A and B are shown apart, each in its own frame.
Chain A
C-alpha cells in the first residue's frame, strides 16, 4: 500500500490508483468534467488540477498516480481562481439557459458554475457548435451544449466497442460526429445509449424526457432489468407514474453504468394497454370448470390472432392459484395419457439463470422429459 496525504488527511491506497480515484473513494470531490471512473482519462477539462508539494505547476489528478509520501492539495485559493477561469471559458461556449434546460439539476457544468460562482462568462460569447440532430427514436444530439469532454466517444470505443462517433475537426471547431456527420442509423451505433448516460450536460438527452420535467420533478425507482438473465440494475425515472427514461446507477454490481439498447429504451411495455396484468385461461376451459357462464368454442383460425377484443373474447382472467392448478392438471393428464415425452418445455431468456435452472429441473425431474429448449436470445 502507498501512503499519501490529500488535503492534510493520510490515506493508504493500492499502487496504480490515481489521486482522483483515491480522493473519491474517501469522499473528497475533485471537480471534473471529462473524467469518468469507467473510462480512460485524457485530462482535457483541466478542472481536476491539484497542487502537489514540490511541483511548481498544478497536475491533473485523474492522470496522476498516487506515490509514496505525496502531499496533494485539492483546494486552494489559486486552484479556485484557476477553476473559476476555466469554468468562465466553458460557459463562454455554452448557453446558460439553465432555466429551460431539461438537464438542470443533473448538469455537471451547472453544478460547478454554481459552486464556483460563475453566473455568466466574462468573455465574448462564442458558441462553436449549433447542430441539432434529432435523427433517431432514442436520443437527440444538441451540439450547442457539448463541452467536448469526449466521454461519449470513449464509452463508445472503450466499453461498447462500437466506435460510432469520434471527435472530428480541430481546435475550437471540433465536434463529436458520426462518419461524415451522417445520421446515427448510418453509423455503427448500436443505440445502447451509453453515450447519453455519461454525457455531463444536455448535449445528449433521451428523447422521451424532453419537455417532460426536470430532475427534481422526477421520481426514481431502482429495479432489475426484466429483459434477460444478466440482471442489470436499472433505474427508471418516472413522472406521474409514467416512465420517462431508464438509466443505470453508478456502482451497479453487474452492469456498472451501462445498459443495452433493450434495457435502456425498451420499457414502453410497462404501461402499455396490451400488457397482460393477470393470468388468463381460455374461455372454453373456464366454461368447463364453471368459471364462466358463457359457453365458447375454439375457432379454427390461429390462436395467435390477438386483434382488438380477441383477448377479452377468448380468455377469462383468473387468480394465480386457479391458473397454476389448470396448468398442472393439463400437464399431468397429458403425461398420464401420452407419456412424458409428449410434453416439451421452452424457456425464456428473459428469465433469470436461477429461474431457467428451476425450469429445466422441473421438466427433467418433474415431468420426466429432456424435451427442453431455450430461446437464448431476445
Chain B
C-alpha cells in the first residue's frame, strides 16, 4: 500500500542505549514506514507500547533522536495519551469501563472484583510480579452490552463480577453487533454478509456509485448531489456536508486531504463501530468519493485506539480494495489515484475534535487548534482538509447512486434523512438503530429497543456532550428543530436511558469524572472548570450541598459553555445545565 510508494529511506541517528532486540526492530519498522518523519510519532509510540508493554526511557530517547523531535516533545506526547505508560503494564492488561451506562449496569462492581481477583489495591495498579494490571476506562463503545471491558485488546461484554476470572483470561462473552431499524440502508449487510468479503458486497452494489462517479460524474456534480441531499455531519456538530466539501475544493493548497473521523469516543455512542466492523466498504466507498470530489490523493482513517477489532477489519478491507484497484493508482482506469492510511489514536477523547485529530496525526499532543482558520482552508499538514464522521461517509454512496434528493424522502425539511441511534441503558434490547429522523424517543425505544426497562426517568441524548431530557421529552420528535427548545442535541445519536432506579446525580458525577479525565488542559475554564464541576457534584452527592452550591454549579456551567476554546469544553457542562433545566428548574433562576 503506502509503503510501496515510499522512496529512499533515511536511517536516522543511533539508537542510544536501548537494546537492539526484536522489540526495538518492531519499533524501527514503524519509524521506517514513516520514513523517519516526525508525524509518525503517535504510531511509533503505539508500536513501542505494544512491543515493550511500556515506553522505556531509553526507547523514547532513541525515538526522539531518530525522528529528530525534541525529547521534551516526545515526553509530552508519551504523557498525554491514555494508552501510553512509562511504567510497565501487566502481562494481562484490563480496561474496564466505568462510564454512565456501564456504571449503572454494575461496571463498578466488575472493576472492584477485577482488582480484588488480581490482588491490586486500586484501579490503575499492577499486581505483584507484573501479572495483571487493571484500569478504569472511559466509554469503550460497548454500551449496548454493558458492563464491558477490553482485556489485551479483546472486547468482552455483559459482565458480572463472577465473570472476572474468565474476563482476565479473555474468555468472557465476546462483543457482538446488535443492529435493528427500518429501513436498513447504511447497515443493511451487517450480520448478513462477511464484513470484508468484497465480492459479496459488490454483488449487492457496493462500489457501483464509485464506478458511476469516476466514469460519468464530475467532482463538482458529486458535491452538488451531496449539497442537494441536505446531509449534515453525523458526528455531532451537524455541519452541512456538501458545503464543507465545496469549501475544501475551492481552497488553495498544495495538497488536499480527506479524513474519516473514526475516533468514536462520545460516551454512549457505538454506531460508527458497528458500521466499520460490519459494513466497512460502504464507509470506505464514501471516503473515496469524498477524495474524488475535493481532489485529494491521500486520505486517513483515524481510528480510536480502543477499537482494535474494527482496526483489523479496516486493514483487511483496505487490502481487498488495493487488490481490486479500488484504491491506489489509476482507480478503475479513471486516472484517479488515492492512498488511504490508517492512523490509530492512543486514548484521548479530545482527538475526536477535528483539529486535535490533526495534531494526533501530525504526531503531537492532541490540543485543539484555534478556528478560524477552518480545516477546509488550513487543516491537516496545513492543507485544505475535509473531516467526516463514519456515518456521514456511509450515506455518500447512496447519494451518488440515487441522487441527492433521494435522501430527502426521510426526515423533515430541517432534519433530513436517516440516522443511526445508539440505544443503551434501561431499554430491553439495546443496540444500534437505523431510522429516519423524526421518530420520538418513545417510538424509537418501543419499536426498535424492545421497550423501556422500568419506568424511564431521564434520557441522556447525544452523549456526555449532549443533554438530559425528562419523561416529558419522550414524545418530542428527534429532529434538530423540535429538540432545540429543550437545549439538547441529537449529537452523535447516543440515547442513554435511565429508569427510576438511577440517581441522576451519580450519573452527573460519572460524566464529570469523564471530563476531568479527558480535558486536554489547554484552556483554563475547561481544565479548572471540569475539576470544580466534579468537586461541586461530589459535595452535593455527599449531602453537603446547599442551594448555594447548586447555583454555583449552574453558574460554573454557564461559564464553561461560553468561555471554553473547543467543542469539548463548550459542551462539557451540558449534562449539568440540561439536568437543572429539566429536573430542578428553580436552580439558577434569578430571584
Contacts and interface: CB of A to CB of B under 8 A. Distances in A.
A174 B524 CA distance: 11
Given A86-B563, A124-B532, A42 B522 contact: yes
Interface residues of B, number: 42
Nearest to B556: A85
B490 to A, nearest CB: 20
B559 interface: yes
Contacts of A43: 370, 523, 565
Interface stretch (A160-168, A258-266, A272-280, A333-341): A160-168
Nearest to A189: B72
A63 interface: yes
Contacts of A33: 524
9 contacts: A44-B522, A45-B524, A49-B563, A92-B532, A93-B528, A126-B532, A163-B73, A171-B520, A187-B72
A168 B524 contact: no
B555 A85 contact: yes
Interface of A is mostly: loop
A192 B328 CA distance: 50
Contacts of A82: 559, 562-563
Interface of B is mostly: helix
B517 interface: yes
A60 B525 CA distance: 13
Contact of A179 (B75, B520, B530, B552): B75
A170 B520 contact: yes
Contacts of B370: 41-43, 60, 63
Contact of B524 (A46, A179, A187): A46
Interface in B152-176: none
Contacts of A122: 552
Given A45-B524, A46-B525, A171-B518, A164 B535 contact: no
Report the interface size class on chain A. 35 or more
B80 A169 contact: yes
Contacts of A86: 524-525, 559, 563
Contact of B75 (A45, A63, A168): A168
A90 interface: yes
A48 to B, nearest CB: 11
Given A92-B528, A177-B75, A171 B521 contact: yes
Interface of A: 33, 41-46, 49, 57-58, 60, 63, 82, 85-86, 89-90, 92-93, 122-124, 126, 128, 147-148, 157, 163-174, 177-180, 187-188
Ordered nearest first, which 4 A-B pairs have the shortest CB separation? A163-B70, A166-B76, A174-B521, A166-B72
B265 interface: no
A88 to B, nearest CB: 9
Contacts of A45: 523-524
Nearest to B70: A163
Given A82-B563, A171-B518, A172-B531, A166 B524 contact: no
B562 A57 contact: yes
Contact of B563 (A85, A124, A157, A165): A85
Nearest to B522: A44
Given A42-B522, A126-B535, A171-B519, A164 B528 contact: no
Given A172-B519, A172-B521, A178 B532 contact: no
Interface string B390-421: 00000000000000000000000000000000
